[in-house]
Amino acid sequence: MPTTVDVFAKVRGHERAEQLRAAREADLLPYFRVLTGPAGPVVEMEGADRVMLGSNNYLGLTGDARVVQGARRALDDYGTGLTGSRLLNGTTALHVELERELAEWMGTEDCIVFTTGHQANVGTLGTILAPGDTVIVDSGDHASILDGVMLSRAKMRPFRHNKLDKMEKALERAQGDGGGILVVVDGVYSMEGDVAPLVEICDLCARYGARLMVDEAHGAGVLGARGAGASELLGVEDRVDLRMGTFSKSLASCGGFVAGSAEVVEFLRISSRAYIFTASGVPAALGAALAALRIVRSPEGPELFARVLANARYLRDGLRERGFKTIDHDIVTPVVPVLVEDDWKAALLWRALYDAGVFVNVAIHPAVPPGGALLRTSVMATHDEATLERALDAFASVKQAFEAEHGPLPTAAR
């Protein structure tokens, strides 16, 4: 009889599985809820209409007739799939057009499109970094950034979220590491919706000879006059070396990109394993992203950016007025977090809101620090006031019943 441990043993009885089972049994699991209709501001989910405050469809373009038509045209022109790598048979005229227009939008020499945003980060960081290099990351950076870093085997020096003194310490220490230095931050942090202090970060990078990459997943299509993201809003576009973005948020599709200098982008095209050893995105996804990008870059774009940000302000103020503790930032983004602190209470509150017809996302440890559980709400440009009011009414009535049963929720400091 072999005496080796069963490699599958870890899937049984670990703490996370137990938590999941308990939450599932109590029907408190906020995950894997099934949509049965389009991803609009109000969705049909598990037999009921619910206000969607848990989507990254910030501009509400997933159902826009022009975007749908863009997807349809690409489907008609190229078929359902490209069945091969970008490097081989998977590059179409659509990719070439999209990469050119994305580079124009970002104001960079070139741009490379990946099949997903996750692959854009993994495929860039895993390629541009090598053992011997140092990469300095914010503790709030997206998981795909950390995955790319781990793949690269570069030395990682993380710093506490937005703590620039800690970032500077890491830069000082990195001087002794002997390799190249890359700093990677999110432009807008996905859970708490705060914007990175990019001016100061650029200054520090310049002082210590480090390159800078900014993940603009949540800022692109929303922030800045052209909607080119946090780097544009803060006036540092020409000081950021690489800007990553995704189609899975404002651009209403699926896919990712990295914009930067022609030489770096060309290097990625011939060396990035997450680009070469995977199939090209489906034509419909590219056609939709291109159509959405054209709307973003048209005179209609700034109207949509203004609308989604006004909605975020409306929701944030409404939640505060109803006694919820939101995290307020100087720069408003579509992400409005509501602090709950306790993981189990967050799940209970999620369920109560769900029953009251509102879908939000829940972030518990390890997505946020221990004791920092929050409901991540996010808005779209296409939420109208009546729909936001409906959601706020649900929050207010749920709060009263919830606190009577489970004790007080964190309150807004006034």
Query: What SS3 class is residue 334?
Result: coil
CB of 54 to ligand PMP, least distance (A): 12
* Annotation says 190 is catalytic: yes
- The smaller minimum CB distance to ligand PMP, of residues 190 and 272, is found at 190
Site residues for ligand PMP per CB under 6 A: 116-118, 121, 142, 144, 186, 190, 215, 217-218, 246, 248, 256
Place of tokens 């929720």: 409
CB of 255 to ligand PMP, least distance (A): 7
Give residues with Cβ within 8 angstroms of 257, minimum separation 6.
99, 102, 111, 112, 113, 114, 120, 244, 245, 246, 247
- The smaller minimum CB distance to ligand PMP, of residues 92 and 190, is found at 190
CB of 47 to ligand PMP, least distance (A): 27
- Using an 8 Å Cβ cutoff, are 181 and 136 in contact? yes
Tell which residue, 120, 208, 123, has the closest CA to residue 159. Answer: 208
- The smaller minimum CB distance to ligand PMP, of residues 256 and 283, is found at 256
User: Among the options 95, 118, 142, 218, which is catalytic?
Assistant: 218
The phi and psi torsions of 60 (rounded to 5 degrees) equal: 70, 30
* Annotation says 249 is catalytic: yes
- The smaller minimum CB distance to ligand PMP, of residues 218 and 351, is found at 218
CB of 322 to ligand PMP, least distance (A): 28
CA 97 to chain centre: 24
- The smaller minimum CB distance to ligand PMP, of residues 248 and 387, is found at 248
User: Among the options 249, 325, 383, 399, which is catalytic?
Assistant: 249
- Using an 8 Å Cβ cutoff, are 345 and 409 in contact? yes
Indicate the angle between helix axes 385-406 and 300-321, nearest 10 degrees: 30
User: Among the options 55, 144, 152, 190, which is catalytic?
Assistant: 190
Q: For residue 49, what are the β-bridge partners?
A: 44
CB of 254 to ligand PMP, least distance (A): 6
Long-range contact pairs involving 143-147 (C-beta distance under 8 Å, separation at least 24): 144/117, 144/118, 144/119, 144/120, 145/121, 145/184, 145/186, 145/215, 147/118, 147/121, 147/122
In the complex, residue closest to ligand PMP by CB: 117
- The smaller minimum CB distance to ligand PMP, of residues 333 and 387, is found at 333
Query: Which two tokens mark 158?
Result: 């993380």
| Distances from the Cα of 149 to the Cα of 93, 102, 152, 196, angstroms | 32, 25, 5, 20
CB of 120 to ligand PMP, least distance (A): 7
Query: Which two tokens mark 373?
Result: 């559980």
- Give Rg (Cα) of the chain: 22
Question: Which residue numbers are catalytic?
Answer: 190, 218, 249
